[in-house]
């Protein structure tokens, strides 16, 4: 098989990335993106291309030799409801939606890997190229799994990557064990009668109770959980039905909690219920706690982390490969696949000058494309052998 020219591939991936960037689509609405991906995979000559897996997901399958092992490589396709601040010629053409997390880059990199591996082979077994919808919602991986992903397209291990602002391009990081956190979402509703602003003693108002509750929620992490467990409880919204001269009868407190172990997530919920009940009693109002789990924690398999570092040596300069120092309290839908098979999630530099993820000025760095595609191919080849 002829070797694929890396410089040409990098230019092609840049073109694909800009096309995807100009046409961002929200989770489960990635119709155009999925059609783009499927068309490319067919053009590269994959053995099978399945569309509509878990909504708008796409799975490409590439087989070589007689090996019976299968390795999955995964990218995400969705964009965010953020208005882009950019003058780039490929800036978002869909008002209010933009690729602010670099999933356009992840998709282009995995397409690049598919082209490399279809053109050059160099492995014995099956590679599954998984393009998932709705990562940002934490719903796309489950949708694909519920649609029979593991039964229809079985695989033994899975690898994924995310670009990282602040890390120089051409740098690679990952770690064994906990990598990214679970995300739980909560809403606490306080209800009372409300009342006249001039006569608080005869009413039953919820705002002072809500303020006490917000303050006391700060003690969950600082006083009720072990300092050895990393966790975050953030109140992000306080909404009431009060007005200038009327005390609110309803106060809603919304927020988000992060943790790395299911036991810690359960304890946060338990403590939150105790505090909400206690504050409600003390202030003579009623409390209702709604607590849901949106993302599960992402834990890397130690053996596959070693394999990823070994594969990275063929792609990155030795001085640019590092063990990530600490887990991140952000969340990743990739974790859902790890409920079924072992896997490893890695981070690639998006440059020190990069705007943060989910920022209206963010853009994926095209200089990282070839690193990502090459790493995907390297780890799959290494795990499948020749
Ligand atoms: Zn994101
Ligand atoms: Zn992302």
Confidence category of residue 311, pLDDT binned at 50, 70, 90: very high
**DSSP 8-state code for residue 27:** T
d(CA 49, CA 157): 20
CB-CB neighbours of 79 under 10 Å: 27
Q: Which two tokens stand for residue 170?
A: 């051409």
Instruction: Report residue 75 as tokens.
Output: 């990218």
Per-residue model confidence (pLDDT) at position 335: 98
Q: What is the pLDDT of residue 112?
A: 98
Query: Residue 111 gets which letter from DSSP?
Result: H
> Using one digit for the tens of pLDDT, what is the confidence trace for 321-342?
999 989 999 999 999 999 999 9
- In the reported structure, the alpha carbon of residue 135 is separated from the centroid of ligand 2 by a whole-number distance in angstroms of 7
pLDDT of 203: 80
Three-state secondary-structure class, residue 257: strand
Ligand closest to 163 (CA) is 2
What is the mean pLDDT of the segment spanning 365-379? 98
Query: Cα dist. 219→23, 272, 329 in Å?
Result: 44, 10, 18
Question: How high is the pLDDT of residue 150?
Answer: 98
User: From the CA of 79, how far away is ligand 1's center (Å)?
Assistant: 8
Q: Which residues neighbour ligand 1 (ion) by CB within 5 Å? A: 101
In the block, which residue shows the tokens 């409390």?
A: 287
3-state class (DSSP) for residue 55: coil
Q: With a cut of 90, say whether residue 2 has pLDDT above it.
A: no
Identify the CA nearest to 164 among candidates 360, 380, 355.
355
Q: What percent of the chain has pLDDT over 90?
A: 97
- Residue 8 above 80 pLDDT? yes
Please give the average per-residue pLDDT across 263-277, as a whole number: 98
Q: What pLDDT score does 280 carry?
A: 98
Average pLDDT over residues 27-37: 98
DSSP per position, 343-371: EEEEEEE--TTPPPTT-TT----GGGHHH
- Distance between CA atoms of 8 and 133, rounded to whole angstroms? 28
Give me the residue label for tokens 């303020």: 211
Tell me what the mean pLDDT of segment 302-315 comes to. Answer: 98
pLDDT at residue 1 tops 80: no
383 with 303: CB under 8 angstroms?
Answer: no
Q: What is the pLDDT of residues 208-259, one digit of tens each?
A: 999 999 999 999 999 999 999 999 999 999 999 999 999 999 999 999 999 9
Among the ranges given (24-28, 146-150, 197-201, 347-351), the one the predictor scored with the smallest mean pLDDT: 197-201
267 Cα–ligand 1 center, Å: 27
- What's the CA-to-centroid distance between 79 and ligand 2, angstroms? 9
pLDDT in tens, 38-85: 999 999 999 999 999 999 999 999 999 999 999 999 999 999 999 999
Q: Flag whether pLDDT at 204 surpasses 90.
A: no
Mean pLDDT confidence for 353-374: 98
pTM: 0.93
Going from the Cα of 284 to the center of ligand 2, the distance in angstroms, rounded, reads: 43
Ligand 2 center from residue 133 Cα (angstroms): 11
What's the token pair of residue 356?
Answer: 């943060």
Provide mean pLDDT across the span 194-206.
91
- For the ranges 157-161, 214-218, 307-311, 322-326, the lowest mean pLDDT is seen at 322-326
d(C-alpha 37, C-alpha 289), whole Å: 42
* Full strand arrangement of the beta sheet holding 48-53: 48-53, 57-64, 125-132, 70-76, 157-164, 343-349, 172-174, 321-323
pLDDT cut 70: percent of the chain above it: 100
pLDDT at residue number 118: 98
Q: Tell me, in angstroms, the distance from the centre of ligand 1 to residue 138's CA.
A: 10
CB 343 within 8 A of CB 156: no
Average pLDDT over residues 192-200: 94
């Amino acid at each position: 098989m002829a070797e694929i020219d890396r410089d040409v591939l990098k230019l092609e991936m840049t073109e694909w990335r800009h096309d995807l960037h100009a046409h961002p689509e929200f989770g489960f609405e990635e119709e155009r993106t999925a059609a783009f991906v499927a068309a490319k995979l067919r053009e590269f000559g994959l053995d099978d291309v399945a569309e509509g897996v878990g909504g708008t997901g796409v799975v490409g399958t590439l087989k070589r030799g007689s090996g019976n092992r299968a390795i999955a490589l995964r990218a995400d396709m969705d964009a965010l409801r953020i208005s882009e601040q950019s003058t780039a010629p490929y800036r978002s053409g869909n008002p209010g939606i933009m690729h602010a997390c670099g999933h356009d880059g992840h998709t282009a990199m995995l397409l690049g890997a598919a082209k490399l591996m279809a053109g050059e082979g160099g492995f014995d077994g099956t590679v599954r190229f998984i393009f998932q919808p709705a990562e940002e919602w934490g719903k796309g991986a489950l949708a694909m799994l519920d649609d029979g992903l593991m039964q229809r397209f079985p695989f033994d291990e899975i690898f994924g990557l995310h670009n990282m602002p602040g890390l120089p391009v051409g740098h690679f990081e990952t770690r064994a064990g906990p990598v990214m956190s679970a995300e739980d979402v909560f809403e606490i509703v306080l209800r009372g009668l409300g009342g006249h602003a001039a006569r608080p003693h005869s009413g039953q108002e919820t705002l002072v109770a809500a303020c006490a509750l917000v303050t006391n929620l700060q003690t969950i992490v600082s006083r009720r959980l072990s300092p050895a467990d990393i966790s975050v409880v953030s109140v992000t919204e306080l909404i009431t039905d009060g007005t200038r001269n009327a005390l609110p009868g309803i106060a809603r407190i919304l927020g988000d909690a992060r943790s790395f172990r299911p036991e810690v997530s359960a304890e946060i919920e338990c403590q939150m219920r105790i505090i909400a009940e206690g504050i409600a009693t003390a202030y003579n109002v009623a409390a209702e706690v709604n607590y849901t789990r949106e993302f599960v924690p992402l834990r890397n398999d130690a053996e596959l982390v070693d394999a990823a570092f070994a594969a990275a040596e063929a792609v990155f300069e030795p001085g640019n490969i590092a063990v990530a120092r600490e887990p991140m309290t952000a969340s990743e839908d990739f974790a859902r696949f790890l409920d079924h098979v072992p896997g490893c999630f890695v981070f690639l530099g998006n440059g020190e000058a990069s705007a943060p993820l989910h920022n209206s000025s963010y853009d994926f760095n095209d200089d990282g494309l070839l690193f990502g595609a090459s790493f995907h191919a390297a780890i799959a080849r290494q795990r499948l052998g020749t």
